[in-house]
Amino acid sequence: MIKNMSKSVVTELLNEAGITINGNKPGDIKVYNEQFYSRILREGTLGLGEAYMDLWWDCTDLDILFERLIRARTEEKIKKSMRLIAKLALAKIINFQTRKRALDVGKKHYDLGNDLFEHMLDRNMNYTCGYWKNANTLEEAQLAKLDLACRKLQLTPGMRVLDIGCGWGAFAKYAAEKYQVEVIGITISMQQYEYAKDLCKDLPVEIRFQDYRELSGQFDRIVSLGMFEHVGHLNYRQYMKMAKKLLHDDGIFLLHTIGSNTSVTNADEWISNYIFPNGMLPSIAQIGKASEGLLVMEDWHNFGASYDKTLMAWHKKFTNNWDTLKTKYDDRFYRMWNYYLLMCAGSFRAREIQLWQIVFSKNGVTGGYEAPR
């Protein structure tokens, strides 16, 4: 009886989103285990992702599926379990992004293996959203993103630039070569640290294995591409205070981050468990509150739709190179990574999450700031 009720409820919710169970349209799903329905109602997004990894269901176009689910606000119609409610309550008061915990995302995600990222990303190993305004390929979009960031920072030769969350060194290398600046890049991933050091070894670039809370000194410019998602809402204010402390009086800070349409204190449970431990997407309100009274917001640029294209390009490269990667990663990893990339693509396509580049100054740019696009 309960099993039949669960199936009826889930079927109705999916139908409302334009999804048919065992249908043949893009975004429809095939169910292989009848326990799928009760698991979804019991465990929500965590159960949905784990059931996919367990081969309980399948879908040929996961990106379309998630776009439809999000636009239909399906998740809001499923009651949260007491376990999840308790976890959400704890996230409001417990700092899951302490210095010690911050290392988790480096070890569990960015240190999965450079071979994985080399077979998925562009040749410069950019793991953030490309800028597709005038680009036709992933390589073009990523170079355009790097140059857009440099132009927004108004880099000139000899400047000292801090790159918080430098990844595999793509920005540091590009800025040093194209704009003749000195760069200090920090990361909490050991594999990124070693790779970036080698990439930038003949340039005026220093790569450090370091937490942002340990920084000192003064910089003409600060850039952070795709790192703020790991800071956590209880640390946003501290992060902005650090940026202010590190900037020269006439300095500029570019914050590039994925953003949420609403203020949250947690991440999607499946994403947090399997992809980005302790991650969290900031909202406009949270960023505004964190920076209020510390920095002047000069420009706010949203090109979240570009992340859909970026993720689909990464997914294409990942699947095209799977025959090489599968010698190291198993089939369950393939389904996990496939789910991650396409779920995120669908989320950006549905405009549930955004990509922001925000330009801050320490004291307001004299005469005003004109942002390039």
Are 260 and 283 in contact by the 8 Å Cβ rule? The answer is: yes
CA-based nearest residue to 130, from 119, 116, 140:
140
Strands 160-164 and 57-58: unpaired
Amino acid at 254: L
The set of residues, in sequence order, having a beta carbon less than 8 Å from that of 322 and lying 6+ positions away, is: 334
- Pinpoint the alpha helices (H) of the chain: 2-16, 36-53, 62-71, 82-93, 99-105, 114-118, 138-153, 170-179, 190-199, 236-246, 269-274, 284-291, 305-320, 322-325, 331-349
Q: Would residue 344 show up in a list of annotated catalytic residues for this protein?
A: yes
The set of residues, in sequence order, having a beta carbon less than 8 Å from that of 302 and lying 6+ positions away, is: 354, 355, 356
Q: Which of 59, 129, 150, 344 is catalytic?
A: 344
Are 171 and 184 in contact by the 8 Å Cβ rule? The answer is: no
Q: How far is CA 219 from each of CA 154, 225, 290, rounded to the nearest angstrom? A: 14, 17, 21
> Hey, what long-range contacts does 144-148 have (CB within 8 A, 24 or more apart)?
146/170, 146/171, 146/174, 146/175, 147/174, 147/178, 148/357, 148/372, 148/373
Q: Is 65 left (phi over 0), alpha (psi -120 to 50) or beta?
A: alpha
CA-based nearest residue to 39, from 61, 85, 6, 9:
6
Residues classed as catalytic: 344
